[in-house]
Structure 1
Amino acid sequence: MKPGSVNENFSKASAAKHAQRWWLIGWPRRLLLLRFVAFGLSRNMSSTCLKLVEVEESRRFMIDCFKAVNVPEEHAKAQADLLVAADHRGHFSHGMNRLEMYINDLAINSTDGAITPVVLKETPATAWVDGRNGLGAVVGNFCMDLAIKKAKNVGVGWVCAKGSNHYGMAGWYALRAMESGLVGMSMTNTSPLMAPTGAKEAALGTNPLSLGANACGKDHFLLDMATTAVAVGKIEIQNRKGASLPDGWAQDPEGKVTNDAKLAFETGCLCPLGGTELTSGYKGYGLGAMVDILTGVMSGANYSTHVRKWTHTGANTAANLGQVFIAVDPNCFAPQFQERMTDFNSILRNTKPTDPKKPVLLAGDKEEKNMKDVDQTGGIEYLENQLKTCAALAERLKIQPLRFK
């Protein structure tokens, strides 16, 4: 807008007119309006206000919660380690945000927190495991450790599990393989939340997959992604904040894309990765189906709409999720894998960015930065609404409340 232009003069005149109207309404009405605005701001801030919680305190609280519903300490620690790691890495949809749902399932015995998995069938390179309705982290750690053992012996380990539960952040299991110098992959099916392209009801889960590979030093590549546009937990986080959704995340009951986080969360119908058919959402739909075939169909677990719905109040039936854990020894193939990975990572990171202030990132870079930020600030930042849920849990389970700074 140029100084002295018609638009500028109009804006000045308009501003003066509005100021005059504001002044003429009188002090009583002005005070009432100010209070109304302040109330609206305070409500918005209450849902987005952040509190700092030390990592070990977050872990302590989760362990106490699990132990309060009769989970053995070893299993409680395994599940808590997974959830804390998700928050530490910035995957808030899969950390403390999921705690209440785990507790509710355990409290009504739709998940067995004490059980350990068993191997039903195996070869030197493969295994079929029954999770026996145990905690997702317990089943997942067992299966990936078995895959790692097989990969070290014959070069590859492929383990399928049935009878599992929500196993948290998929990348956790890839990281487990990476710690042993292997390439790791993991996938799981979930409760139906994705609408197939052209449908207005969910028939597939978010069905995440992960792949992790080490480069030289501490550098690595770690992909962890849902095959929906987003994980349902991100819809829940937006709902907690009272914020709207970007286009292409979720559908309303009529199958139309919605920006209403509350409606989307209640409807439980996410768009596939890619969004609508116009933006190639059918590719995400195809990926989600692929994961369900490799996890649910192949393992003998539930799949598609046979998987129960998972809610905050718990479910009265077992989830019987299917999962896959793969470990590969790169030394069985071309030499200098880590050096080649370092070069590969460098090429991608050094591609010319569209915004010079925002360098190109690799899968896992954001998580590494988030971990450093958490370590520097001295804790994980949780939404106030999340902390209210934790306070209610502490009161209900008769445990020490979560302490925050």
Structure 2
Amino acid sequence: MNLLQRFSLFTCGHISRYQSVIAIKSVGKKTFFSRQYCSKMAAPDESVVSKNEMRRFMIDCMTTAGASESHATQLALVLLEGDIRGHYSHGLNRLDMYVRDVQQKVCKGDGEPTILKEKAGTAWVDGNNLLGPVVGNFCMDLAIKKAKDAGIGWVVAKGSNHYGIAGWYGLRAMKQGMLGMSMTNTSPISYPTRSAVPALGTNPISLAAPGTGDDAFVLDMASTTVAIGKVYYLLKRPKKLS
């Protein structure tokens, strides 16, 4: 393998939801240096909140709802990264959904994923209906370990939930000098051409690849025209969809 040295894939799902992440390590690539991301300046009628305060607020909300501090922190970090990277559809905007899921026992607020089957380069994980980021982090970390040990890591999971931005998991691999890929199916909310009922999910996919120095390429997109979260985001604001 003169181009790619390490390759790992993670997938996880909840009923109709399946998520996937891939990490590929470049030859000779030892470390990845994080880039600084700039956000737009706040409008005159908007307030600026520090990242630490946002993280604390989200953790407090989730622990109050019934999630453990560890699980709440993992979720908060994913949502915070979504906002920092400009994916406002998958940041603090989605916190109420996760709070309701834990309060109403739609998903569990504590516990651990379990490995059902595994080989040197593959594994099947049961997410045990935990918060999506908890399952996603578990699977991606397992995939990275297998990629380092066996050259490829492909992890598939069931029993997961909404896991935030797909790019978060690819970035976990990229920060270790790997290529990272993440993908998921979603509930059927998209209408196929000439269909009268929704049948397809937004089915996002993400690819993260380290470049020279501190450069990098990160793709994070829905396979539909737009992510449903962006529709929800704009519905709460006096803006028109174009």
Tell me whether 1:214 sits opposite 2:204 in the alignment.
Answer: no
- TM-score computed with the length of structure 1 as normaliser: 0.48
How far apart are the structure 2 equivalents of 1:243 and 1:193? 22
Tell me whether 1:130 sits opposite 2:126 in the alignment.
Answer: yes
For 1:202, the equivalent position in structure 2 comes to: 198
Letter of the 1:142 counterpart: F
For 1:230, the equivalent position in structure 2 comes to: 226
What are the Cα deviations for residues 279-320 of structure 1, in whole angstroms up to 9, with x where unaligned? xxxxxxxxxxxxxxxxxxxxxxxxxxxxxxxxxxxxxxxxxx
For 2:166, the equivalent position in structure 1 comes to: 170
For 1:152, the equivalent position in structure 2 comes to: 148
After superposition, residues 68-87 of structure 1 pair within 5 angstroms as 68-87=64-83
Letter of the 1:145 counterpart: D
SS of match in other structure, 2:206: strand
Match of 1:102 among 98, 105, 113: 98
Cα deviation, residue 145, structure 1: 0.3
Contact 1:115 1:133 in 2 (8 A): no
For 1:244, the equivalent position in structure 2 comes to: 240
What are the Cα deviations for residues 230-284 of structure 1, in whole angstroms up to 9, with x where unaligned? 11111112211132222xxxxxxxxxxxxxxxxxxxxxxxxxxxxxxxxxxxxxx
For 2:187, the equivalent position in structure 1 comes to: 191
How far apart are the structure 2 equivalents of 1:240 and 1:91? 15
Tell me whether 1:111 sits opposite 2:107 in the alignment.
Answer: yes
After superposition, residues 45-56 of structure 1 pair within 5 angstroms as 49-56=45-52
Letter of the 2:154 counterpart: W
Q: Which runs of 5+ in 2 are unaligned?
A: 1-43
Cα deviation, residue 115, structure 1: 1.9
Cα deviation, residue 123, structure 1: 1.2
After superposition, residues 318-397 of structure 1 pair within 5 angstroms as none
Match of 2:137 among 131, 141, 153: 141
Cα deviation, residue 130, structure 1: 0.6
Cα deviation, residue 181, structure 1: 1.1
Contact 1:189 1:208 in 2 (8 A): yes
Tell me whether 1:92 sits opposite 2:88 in the alignment.
Answer: yes
What are the Cα deviations for residues 63-87 of structure 1, in whole angstroms up to 9, with x where unaligned? 0001102211111111101111111
SS of match in other structure, 1:121: strand
How far apart are the structure 2 equivalents of 1:182 and 1:88? 22
The number of aligned residues is 199
Which structure dedicates a bigger proportion of its chain to strand?
Answer: 2
Q: Which has the higher contact order (CA 8 A, sep 6+)?
A: 2
Contact 1:119 1:127 in 2 (8 A): yes
How far apart are the structure 2 equivalents of 1:100 and 1:49? 23
Cα deviation, residue 49, structure 1: 4.4
Cα deviation, residue 180, structure 1: 1.3
After superposition, the Cα gap between the structure-2 partners of 1:50 and 1:200, relative to the gap in structure 1 and judged at 3 Å, is: farther
After superposition, residues 249-264 of structure 1 pair within 5 angstroms as none
Percent of pairs identical after alignment?
Answer: 55
How far apart are the structure 2 equivalents of 1:50 and 1:123? 52
Cα deviation, residue 142, structure 1: 0.1
How far apart are the structure 1 equivalents of 2:67 and 2:164? 17
SS of match in other structure, 2:159: strand
For 1:59, the equivalent position in structure 2 comes to: 55
Cα deviation, residue 132, structure 1: 0.5
How far apart are the structure 2 equivalents of 1:190 and 1:111? 16
Cα deviation, residue 196, structure 1: 1.4
How far apart are the structure 1 equivalents of 2:59 and 2:182? 25
What are the Cα deviations for residues 48-74 of structure 1, in whole angstroms up to 9, with x where unaligned? 942211111000000000110221111
How far apart are the structure 2 equivalents of 1:219 and 1:115? 37
How far apart are the structure 2 equivalents of 1:220 and 1:71? 34
Contact 1:195 1:201 in 2 (8 A): yes
The alignment yields a C-alpha RMSD, in angstroms, of: 1.2
For 1:304, the equivalent position in structure 2 comes to: none
How far apart are the structure 2 equivalents of 1:190 and 1:118? 22
The higher radius of gyration belongs to: 1
What are the Cα deviations for residues 153-184 of structure 1, in whole angstroms up to 9, with x where unaligned? 11111111110000000000000001111111
Which structure dedicates a bigger proportion of its chain to helix?
Answer: 1
SS of match in other structure, 2:223: coil
How far apart are the structure 2 equivalents of 1:95 and 1:165? 16
Q: Which runs of 5+ in 1 are unaligned?
A: 1-47, 247-405
